[in-house]
Structure 1
Amino acid sequence: MRCPFLREAQVKFCQASPFRKMIVRTLGQPDHERCSSPDYVNCPAAKQHHEDHPSMAHCPFLTESLVQYCSAAAVTKFIPYSESALSRCTNDSHRYCELYVALAHAQADAADPAPEAPAGNTEPRRSPVPEHLYFSPNHMWIDLDRDGSYHLGVDALFATVFGNIDAVSFMTAKSVSRPAAVLTVQGVDLQMVFPTPLLITRANAQLRSHPDRLAADPYTLGWLFEGTVPRNAHGHPDTTVTNGLRHGQEAQTWLEHEFDRMSLFVHEQLAHHDLQGQPLLADGGGFSDGFVRHLNRDEMLHLFNEFFSPYAGWSNQS
């Protein structure tokens, strides 16, 4: 599905001019301005250039082209239609565009404002699982588009447990490998690795300066890597990369169970430790967002290895 803010237009411009200014064709424009009439011979720009076989009907330097542009951008930038295949605007990857996310969130909030949480409520956030995502046992997700492109990142449980990330480093660059990133929290490096080798074309460099996006928007602006999956013998994207991953209602049920398992783990394994006077458990046994910042290094690594390490959860799949 293409971005709803993507627009197309027919533009014309002068190849003889030192500055290429694209003019959008509209119904209200005259059909015979100077460029599209024999009067072009009086144009100073056309006089400076020689054309071996000039047209008598219109200027030989008048060029028309079909372009695309973003109607949400503050500054309109025309992209030739021939390059549209290289743009994320023409497929489902537009969901990870900063402009689209900002406007989509604003429209959703206006249509259905989120209810305010009761005072003193510390229950962890359990946002609905996007139906188009597939989830690995170590709480990473992948969004596989029909053209074989993908985005991947960490899920809501990771974002809720660790809260704001201090720093993000990418261990794998442009290559075919298991996408891996190091997320730093309180001086502790946590290595998140997707279980399947993929062709990586780009990492989300914005996270280096805005690591807080991992917690604020784990399923959109907090994505870690993008790339393409291999193609099978028929030339179609190899969807076997999602084998063993959870999807749809199964993923929703599993993630809710993981939130409950996290609460139980905190209660049984960590609640008896001194947390520097900060409350860890809320009424009913729930954990607070970002509670790991009250743990020491060993406790944090213990929790990470149980839920988020590259091998976590594979033996617990049901």
Structure 2
Amino acid sequence: MSPERPLEVADPERRTRAISAIGLEKSYGRGDRRVKVLDGIDLTVERGTVFSLLGPNGAGKTTAVRILATLADADGGTARVAGYDVRTQRRQVRRAVSLTGQFASVDEKQTGEENLRMMARLGGLSRPAARRRAAELLERFDLTAAGRRLTGTYSGGMRRRLDLAAGLVGEPEVIFLDEPTTGLDPRSRQELWRVVRDLSAGGSTVFLTTQYLEEADQLADRIAVLDGGRLVAEGTAAELKSRVSGHRLDVVVADAAAYERLAPLAVQRSADTLTLGLPTDGTATRVRALLDEIDPERRDVVSFTVHSASLDDVFMALTGRAKTTKEPTHV
């Protein structure tokens, strides 16, 4: 990263921006196999908000998090987290952030309480203060009853909540959650969503990467879509949805020939059910006109329904591909 004057604690930006990045670049590999994972991205995250970074596998989401959390160096660009430069002030950044990834990193041979007390002691708290902090966090994350059980007996959702609690021992200003609900059942996901909402309501800044578009829709104040190492869109969920029209017309067509003919117009496709999703404003006039446009002979469309646009529609329209389920750990 290019040199930049170290930030002072009193920098005005610190009072409003939790994260600020300009022109971040990162490549992996060598020679002809060198791949640019981040291609000059800019990010701004206001304090006390939930910011979500979406993108298909290999888009660079995890790489961006690793750079902002000082776990990797950028090849170019600058970034500040909690008012500190991630290149020249790594120690200050690390004191100000926590990072929870896709897999819980708790010690299975210790109880939940012991895990938290250990983290508190490593953070410099005295024994009495560590006990108090552990008790506070167990209560906050609804783990008090399980606090003296070995974490090896915890469910996936409980382990993930304990992992997040451990990251909050030092009361970080910025919390990075890198696909934290991967592999969790729906109930556990809902529990973690509640925790994220509580953190945001308490003034914490949350930077969330996720493969679940519904998750970003439910939690994020602002969303950025990353594709091919570049940011292709940013805004609120409503703003992004408006880019692909406010609604979607789902049509079931009569046969494969009709499906192939209309597929290029669709933002959602299902070959198995011969269903295509087409953008529309949702008005009766436009729906009638669209049906006449795609099926003037009235032979191809078997049935149709109208839905509000979703982030899935945004994802498909902006990235040109279906969402996938797992991103390489190094990207």
TM-score (norm. length: structure 2): 0.23
- The structure where helix makes up a greater share of residues is 2
TM-score (norm. length: structure 1): 0.24
Larger Cα Rg: Structure 1 or Structure 2? 1
Structure with larger RCO (C-alpha < 8 A, sep 6+): 2
